[in-house]
Amino acid sequence: MDDLPANLTHHRAIAPNANCVLDGTVWYSPAKSFWFIGMACGAFIGGALTFSVGAVALFVAATATVLLFGHSLGSHRKLIHDSFACPLWLEYILVYCGVQVGLAGPLGLLRQHELRDYAQRLPDCHDYLRHGQSPWRDAWWQLHCELELENPPEVRIEPRIANDRFYQFLERSWMLQQLPIALLFYLWGGWAFVFWGVCARVTAGVFGHWLIGYFAHNHGGMHYEMRGAAVQGRNIYFTSLLTMGECWHNNHHAFPGSARLGLRAGEFDPGWSALVLLRQLGLVWDLRLPADLPARAELREINSRISVS
């Protein structure tokens, strides 16, 4: 396993050999665990005590907003994969919405993604990085623990992002960024809006990210195979609205730089629809599609053709 696949030549993660993602220990992370448990307690206990139709409506609207514009467009399709261009002010807004999901700061989330992506492209990797255990153990690991590799790859983030003062500020304060929204919701609708608009939203975002991640690497349909990879992405049908199009993970593994994730007829992709609307408004441009990306020797199509319109 000393030779690295060619598709990792220009990856943000850099390591001398593939063994660096195999050996490591999963440790309990108090900060990560208490963050999720605290939000979950606020959601279930506080939410039950303050239930109202208006609070639930706020939860649905706020969760959909941060998942669509924040996680899918801001954190994933823009910051991580740079699959479209937009003004810096809009990028900041989208990434800030991504921080509101409650997973991590922008730089930490990018590093986590790059390490996991790097590991999954190799012939083998640690079970933590591949969602390779039972759902119960994987949930415990992902929601309450961290992986400490013995010799981790170095993740190099380009200076435009790593040295950006706004992103550095969000990285230091990403948990605290829930407070301004909580204050706004409290002034608007009292504690009910805080419990439902903040605690329930963060709980759904963090838990849902793990749940879809687990299934998207273990169960679901495939149009493509990445030969030699430790993990194959899977398409999780009937969850496109809940995930804002992020459920088409097999497509994403095949074309990670594509701004469009739902590539075939019937693969509804709300994130792509939002980008098309923003393009019509002149706010985004240079949306990359699979035809715009370099060919990958390890990619094998299993069935049907993609749509590039």
Domain enclosing residue 50, as ranges: 6-301
Residue 99 lies in a domain: yes
Residue that the structure tokens 């204050």 belong to? 183
Residue 306 lies in a domain: no
Identify the segments of the chain with pLDDT beneath 50: 1, 306-309
SS3 letters across 46-79: HHHHCCCHHHHHHHHHHHHHHHHHHHHHHHHHHH
CA dist., res. 56 & res. 50, Å (int): 10
Residue 308 lies in a domain: no
CA dist., res. 201 & res. 197, Å (int): 6
pTM recorded for the entire structure: 0.94
Total number of domains constituting the chain: 1
263, burial (CB in 10 Å: exposed 0-12, middle 13-18, buried 19+)? buried
Tokens found for residue 35: 């963050």
Residue 309 lies in a domain: no
User: How confident is the model over 274-301, as pLDDT tens digits?
Assistant: 999 999 999 999 999 999 999 898 999 9
**What SS3 state is found at 249?**
helix
Helix axis angle for 165-173 and 88-99, nearest 10°, is 10
Give 134's contacts (C-beta < 8 A, 6+ positions apart): none
281, burial (CB in 10 Å: exposed 0-12, middle 13-18, buried 19+)? exposed
Residue 112 lies in a domain: yes
Check if the beta carbon of residue 225 is closer than 8 Å to that of residue 194.
no
Residue 174 lies in a domain: yes
**Element housing 24 (H / E):** strand 24-28
**Element housing 277 (H / E):** helix 270-280
CA dist., res. 242 & res. 305, Å (int): 25
Tokens found for residue 50: 């303050």
Give 89's contacts (C-beta < 8 A, 6+ positions apart): none
Residue 246 lies in a domain: yes
Q: Note the residue count of the chain.
A: 309
Check if the beta carbon of residue 287 is closer than 8 Å to that of residue 279.
yes
pLDDT at site 17: 75
CA dist., res. 98 & res. 66, Å (int): 6
Q: Which amino acid is it at 228?
A: G
Residue 203 lies in a domain: yes
pLDDT at site 15: 83
pLDDT at site 19: 81
pLDDT at site 309: 42
